Amino acid sequence: MPGGRTPTATRDAPIGGQAVLEGVMMRGVSTWALGVRKESGIEVRSFPLVSWTRRRRVYRMPVIRGVVALVESLGIGLRALQMSASAQMPEGGEELSGSAWVATVAVSLVFAIGLFFLAPVGLASLIRGPLGSSSVAFWAVEGVIRIAILIGYLALLTRIPDLHRVFQYHGAEHKTIACFEASDQLTPENAQRHSRLHPRCGTSFLLIVMVVAILVFAPIGVPAWYILLPTRIVGIPLIAGVSFELIRWAGRNRGRRWVKAIIWPGLQLQKLTTREPDLGQLAVAIAALEAVLAVETPGDAGELVGVEVVA
C-alpha cells in the first residue's frame, strides 16, 4: 500500500478458521477445508457442512446461536487438528485412536473450567475477609484474577518452542482472511501486507469471555461456596453466548473509532498467540480458503445470521 499502510478490510465475511499442526483449517457457510504442509507439498481436503443453525429456528436465536456455533466449531476444529496430526506422522507411525482424542478433549475441558472459572473464585475466597461484605469487591477481584490467569497462561504458551510454528500459521490464517475481506487477490505477497490481528480472533473472544463473566456473575452476589462454585460452571453457556454476540458485532462494526478502542485490548492479546508467517505458510492458508471458495461464495456476515465463526 502507498506509504506502507496496512490494507483495510471492506467487509466482515463469514469465514473463520483455525491453525493446526503445519496447516490451517478454513470454514465457510457450507464447506470447511484443511490445508496441510507435507514433504510432497500442500495437501488440501474439503468437506461439506450443514450448520446446526439451519436445522432449527431456536438455534438461530441470539445468545443460543453463539453456544451452538461454538460447539459446532469445536467439533470441526478437533477433527481438523486430528487430521493434521495424522498427516505429520511418519510412514507406519501409530496414530492416536478416537477414544484417546475424546479423553484428551475431556481432560482439556475440565482443566480449562477449573483454571479459568473455579480457580479464580477459589483464590478470591481466600481474601474474602479483607474484602468485607461487599459482593461488588468480591466479583471485581475474582474478575481481575481470571483475566490475570488468562494472560499468564497465554504468556506461558509462548515459551513453548513447538508452538511457534502453530502461532505462525495462526497469523497466516488471520492475514489470509483479512486479505479476502479487503477484496484483494489471494496471493501470499498480498496477504503478507495485512495485519496478523483480527477482530474475531478466538484469543480476543477469550478476553471478552473473562470480562462478560464479571457482569454475569455479579448479580449472584457471594452465596455459600456450595452454591458459588456450581454457578461458575452453569453460567458458562450464557457467558459464551453473550460473548459470541459481542465479538460478532465488533467484527461488523470494526471501522468505528469507539469500537476500535473497545477491541484494542483483545488485538494486543493476539500478539501473544500469533507470529508473522512466511510466504509458504500463507500459501497453505490460501489453499485452504480457496478450497472453500471453490464451493461457495460467501456474502456479508450480516446476511448469514448464526453461521459466523471466530477467526
Task: Rank 167-181, 216-230, 289-303 by mean pLDDT and report only the highest.
Answer: 167-181
pTM: 0.87
Question: Does 299 fall in a domain?
Answer: yes
pLDDT over 70 at 228, yes or no: yes
Mean pLDDT of 43-68: 88
Question: Does 309 fall in a domain?
Answer: no
* CA atoms of 214 and 168, how far apart (whole Å): 32
Question: Does 108 fall in a domain?
Answer: yes
Packing angle, helices 202-217 and 257-273, rounded to 10? 110
Question: Does 36 fall in a domain?
Answer: yes
Q: pLDDT category, 290, cuts 50, 70, 90?
A: very high
Question: Does 145 fall in a domain?
Answer: yes
pLDDT over 50 at 185, yes or no: yes
Question: Does 70 fall in a domain?
Answer: yes
Question: Does 310 fall in a domain?
Answer: no
Share of the chain above pLDDT 70, in %: 89
Q: Tens digits of per-residue pLDDT, 95-137? A: 666 677 788 888 999 999 999 999 999 999 888 777 666 778 8
Spatial CA neighbour of 100 closest among 117, 86, 90, 116? 86
- The structural domain count of the chain equals 1
Residue 201 lies in domain: 11-88+96-303
pLDDT over 90 at 176, yes or no: yes
pLDDT over 90 at 58, yes or no: no
Packing angle, helices 98-113 and 64-87, rounded to 10? 130
| Mean per-residue pLDDT of the chain | 87
Q: How far lies 34's CA from each of 27, 63, 125, 152, 242, in Å? A: 9, 28, 45, 30, 29
How many Cβ atoms sit within 10 Å of the Cβ of residue 158?
14
Question: Does 107 fall in a domain?
Answer: yes
pLDDT, position 298: 62
pLDDT, position 311: 57
Spatial CA neighbour of 231 closest among 127, 296, 161, 142? 142
Pairing status of strand 31-38 against strand 41-48: antiparallel
Q: What is the largest CA-CA distance in the chain?
A: 65
* CA atoms of 202 and 220, how far apart (whole Å): 27
